Amino acid sequence: MNIRLLLLALSKAIAGCVMMALLLFLPAGTLAYNKAWLLMGLLFIPMLLMGIVMYIKSPELLRRRLESKEKRNVQQGVIKYAGMLFIAGFIVAGLDYRYGWSVVPEWVTCASALLFLGGYGMYAEVMRENVWLSRTVHVESEQEVVTTGLYGIVRHPMYTATLLMFISMPLVLGSWWATLILFLYIPIIVSRILDEEKLLRAELKGYNEYCNHLRWRLIPGMW
């Protein structure tokens, strides 16, 4: 049993949960922000279950997912600006709840929650299909190109999944204004993909052929 890996995973999960709670409930001015509790449940309960499964069945994949030290300048900028974006989005959602700026129908919240879970399910499937998956952009010495499953539909299904999750989050929270902010995630993820593909084309054997065979990066029929 890798106790160090377990403690690292738990500490990051707890820190993320606490940080998200502070960003939502402090601006909201109350703990009665039910949609914030809903989003935290949608996010952290599956995260806990996935972490347990990875720790038991694939600790190396869990280790890769916990890596956060990017070496490429573009990717460091992506992490920085994405972090600032989500902090702003959560704060605005909390303020939106406090001052009642938005009126989001309950069916939109429910549909967004289902979309979020669908994105989470896609994310889990990507992790099952790709044992080389990492949070940082680099190429392992024995890494191979994955072309089956979701990777046979788009080149970056993990980013498709995160896009679904991140865009649905502010609607789960009931904020149109936060939704406008988090839509700015789209150009950020596009810049990450373009830089990542530059590295993969140069260093991962067979990736150029994969790109020539599969046109779509993020959304089939669009890009």
| CATH number of the CATH domain containing 54 | 1.20.120.1630
Mean pLDDT computed over every residue of the chain? 87
Would residue 219 count as lying in a domain? Answer: no
More confident residue, 134 or 83: 83
More confident residue, 139 or 123: 123
pLDDT of residue 109: 95
Q: Give residue 174's pLDDT band: very low, low, confident or very high (50, 70, 90).
A: very high
CA dist., res. 120 & res. 30, Å (int): 28
Range of the domain at 72: 3-213
Would residue 140 count as lying in a domain? Answer: yes
Would residue 220 count as lying in a domain? Answer: no
Q: What is the percentage of the chain residues whose pLDDT exceeds 70?
A: 92
Would residue 223 count as lying in a domain? Answer: no
**How far, in Å, are 35, 94, 198 from residue 140 at the CA level?**
40, 41, 15
Would residue 68 count as lying in a domain? Answer: yes
Of 119, 129, 90, 109, the C-alpha closest to 171 is 109
Number of domains in the chain: 1
Would residue 222 count as lying in a domain? Answer: no
3-state SS of the chain: helix, strand, coil percent to 5?
75, 0, 25
pLDDT of 142 over the 90 cut: no
CA dist., res. 90 & res. 196, Å (int): 27
CA dist., res. 134 & res. 113, Å (int): 26
pLDDT digits (tens, 9 = 90+) for 41-59: 998 888 888 777 777 777 7
Would residue 221 count as lying in a domain? Answer: no
pLDDT of residue 57: 76
Would residue 165 count as lying in a domain? Answer: yes
